Structure 1
Amino acid sequence: MLLRVHELAYGPPVQSARYAGPPMFARGRKRRTLVLAAVPLVVGIGIGMLIGGNLQSQSHQNTGVTTTTPAVPDQLEYTDMPCDPGSSVLVLHSLEGAMPESEVRVLLDYETMWVRHRESANPALRGQTALLSRRDDVCPVIVPEDTRFTQFIWLGPFPSDTAPALCEALFKVTGKNCIPAQVVR
């Protein structure tokens, strides 16, 4: 009643120019709607995970299947080095026997990838892959005196007169990380 008397005497109350947003009851309604929509979603995901987890564990129990062991990595493939007169191989790595097979595999894959990347630089590199040989399977001339080296990664064979140019085509340092070795001397 007092507000009504005030309005008659002074006029209606003045509105501020600042917008305060929707009335409080309207804001609360949007929040409730959001919560009500999210609750079934969360419950559905939870039920799905429970059902999915139970189905998976029941299937193993019913069939007697045990969990599988992780796949065994591919065994390294060794190649005999050809020892034809007048040919050479590019020895890229001399490896110690203590080197893990996984690291040897990485070197083989890398060198094969690099050769494929650089094969346009020299036609002799086309179709070449990095090969791995044991110490007993390389040409006698190539075996170093140091017995720590038991495996060799190499490319070839190539004609002896073209082998040094292949190191350059591969952007390798001749005599350091690319040794063009004649298989027979």
Structure 2
Amino acid sequence: MSTEDGETRNEFSGSAETVLQAGNIGAVHFRGSKSSEDIALMLICDAELELNPGDQVSLTLEVSNLKDQPHDVVLHLNGMPGTSSEVVPDKVTIAPRRTEKVKLVLRTSPTSPEAGRRRVSVHAEDPSGRRLAETSETVTIVSRPNLTASLALPGDLSEPGTYEGVVELTNTGNKPLQGTIQAPGEFGEAPAHHLDLVGSGSFDLAPGDSALLDLELRLSTQAPLTTSWSPQFEISVARGGLDSFTQEVTVTQIGWLAQMPAFLAAAFAAARVRLGEFVSWCGEKPATRRGVLLTVAGVAVVLTSVVTAGLSGEPTTPAGSAAGTTTSSTGPPATSVPAPPYSVMPCAPGTSAINLWGMTEAEAGAHAAWLIEYESRRLQRLPGEDARFVGQLLDLHHPRVQVSRWDDACSPFRGSKRPEAEVFVWFGPLPSDQVESVCAMLHKHEPLDCQTGSTTAR
């Protein structure tokens, strides 16, 4: 017996089958329940609950009004963090001396709640927040530890050298995990390549958490054909109930034969840049220059076709020409040209762009995608201080080589000195006070008559 707020109350514990006799009993409290003179809660549950990750269980909760006037009750669920468990409905109005039934829906996910025994409770409040009653039940969450590892490397692994990457470890189970991961080290045939961690490789992950561990990939050679390997990481778990295991990943290096068509297309594009075929802000070009360009274009197409045929095992002859002759086509074979990824030039105050190319819609369909790749590579090949300067701009402002139609370009570019220009390949957006420096830098390393313009208005 206890005294609470001046009232005498009798409290008992036992099962529902226990027969209790007492005088002037205001409420009988079964396992894990507390009631008031206003409201009583009873959770209908035959046995202790055991839930697996991903389970959903519905229980009946009885809410009784012990008074002679209606009562508004707000119900709150506790003890199931990180889940969508709920009481449905969570607000009820109960008539005098009546009982309403609501649903207690318990849901688990692969990572929540954490494995083990836990107390799940529901308490009732009146609209002012005064706690009226509570009931609880012990729930066991079955242990399902799990860990995944995934490798992230640059997508253009090709030439020998050192590449940076990460391995992502994710605790996809419902128990905390501690352990270490060991990189494969050497893999492939001699001379071997290396995949190593930068750091200790230890991890301590709560359920649902991830960790990124830095990697270093060193490619010693480049084979003619594209090659893939499947090195394995060894993962040891010291705490968390998970056995040690190996995780296989894939490393793919592009062979130099597979790069030949792109290199030839880039060389073709470079020839056109240097000779001024597409962009010239200085007037008409002599007729002899176009003849030189067509010869360069023909050689590039024939060489590209030969390499493509060598890779596919089938001979390829450029359209419109006989075998063994050059062609007047102005680009790589149509079947190998991807569509230009058109974008809208963002005309923002204080920004400018470098107009690298101006061309017709037809020329863009044949060459724009290759020119974007070529100009992007050119930016990556800048030496010394120029490379560092452009690198800082890339980190701060994220400019890139893009292609836009005339209608989507800012007004300075629509005044191009090549009247027939319908499409522009451009680099930006850049801060207006830096754009002339970048243009001069590009011209210094590879002659380029580029146009700059403000992108403040469309």
Q: TM-score, normalised by structure 2?
A: 0.23
- Indicate the residue corresponding to 1:31 in structure 2: none
Residues of 1 paired with 2:366 and 2:412: CA distance?
Answer: 28
In the alignment, residue 154 of structure 1 is paired with which amino acid?
W
Quick one: distance in 2 between partners of 1:162 and 1:85?
Answer: 14
The structure in which a higher percent of residues are strand is: 2
2:425 — aligned with what? 153
Q: Structure 1 runs of 4+ off > 3 angstroms?
A: 70-73, 125-128
After TM superposition, give the deviation of residue 116 of structure 1 in Å: 1.8
| Structure 2 residue 94 is matched with structure 1 residue 94 | no
- The SS at the match of 2:367 is helix
Query: Number of aligned pairs?
Result: 114
In 2, are the aligned partners of 1:130 and 1:154 still within 8 Å (CA)? yes
Q: What 5-or-longer segments of structure 2 have no aligned partner?
A: 1-333
1:160-171 residue pairs with structure 2 within 5 A?
160-171=432-443
1:172 Cα shift? 5.2
Q: Contact conserved, 1:141 with 1:183, CA < 8 A, in 2?
A: yes
Partner SS for 1:93: strand
Matches within 5 A, 1:122-161: 122=390, 123-125=392-394, 128-144=399-415, 147-161=419-433
**Bigger helix fraction:** 1
**Aligned residue number for residue 372 of structure 2:** 108
- Does structure 2 conserve the Cα–Cα contact (< 8 Å) formed by 1:87 and 1:160? yes
Q: Could you tell me which of 388, 394, 406 is aligned with 1:120?
A: 388
1:105 deviates by 2.1
How far 1:165 sits from its partner (Å)?
0.6
Work out which of the residue numbers 450, 453, 457 in structure 2 matches 1:178.
Answer: 450
Task: Check whether the contact 2:354–2:428 (CA below 8 A) recurs between aligned residues.
Answer: yes
Matched, 1:80 2:344: yes
Alpha-carbon displacement from aligned partner over 1:85-140 (angstroms, at most 9, x marks no partner): 11101111111233162322221111111112224343214554310000010012
User: 1:150/1:86 Cα in 2 relative to 1: closer, same or farther (>3 Å)?
Assistant: same
Amino acid of the structure 1 residue aligned with 2:393 = A
Provide the rounded CA distance (Å) in 2 between the counterparts of 1:71 and 1:94.
Answer: 23
Look up the equivalent residue of 1:76 and give its one-letter code.
P
Residue correspondence of structure 1 range 14-33 to structure 2 within 5 A:
none
Distance 1:110 1:72, change over 3 A: closer
CA distance in 2, matches of 1:93, 1:151: 8
Q: Distance in 2 between matches of 1:100 and 1:181?
A: 21
Q: 102-111 vs 117-126, which deviates more? A: 117-126
Are the counterparts in 1 of residues 339 and 369 from structure 2 also a CA contact under 8 Å? no
* Deviation sequence 1:119-174 (CA, Å, 0-9, x none): 4343214554310000010012320265411000111111111111111222359x
Cα separation, partners in 2 of 1:72 and 1:163, compared to 1, 3 Å: closer
What's the offset of the Cα at 1:73? Answer: 4.4
Q: What CA RMSD, in Å, does the superposition of the two structures yield over aligned residues?
A: 2.7
Structure 2: distance between partners of 1:151 and 1:183: 16
Determine helix, strand or coil for the equivalent of 1:99: helix
Check 1:157–1:121 CA distance in 2 against 1; reply closer, same or farther (3 A cut).
same
Measure, in 2, the Cα distance between the counterparts of 1:100 and 1:142.
Answer: 16
Matches of 1:121 and 1:114, distance apart in 2: 14
Taking the aligned partners of 2:444 and 2:406, their CA distance within structure 1 comes to: 23
| Residues 71, 102 of structure 1: alpha-carbon distance in 2 compared, 3 angstrom cutoff | closer
**8 Å CA contact retained: 1:92, 1:152:** yes
Give SS of 1:170's match. helix
Identity %: 25
Distance 2:357 2:434 in 1: 20
Q: With structure 1 as the length reference, what TM-score do the two structures score? A: 0.53
Contact 1:93–1:177 (8 Å) recurs in 2: no
Q: Helix, strand or coil for the counterpart of 2:363?
A: coil
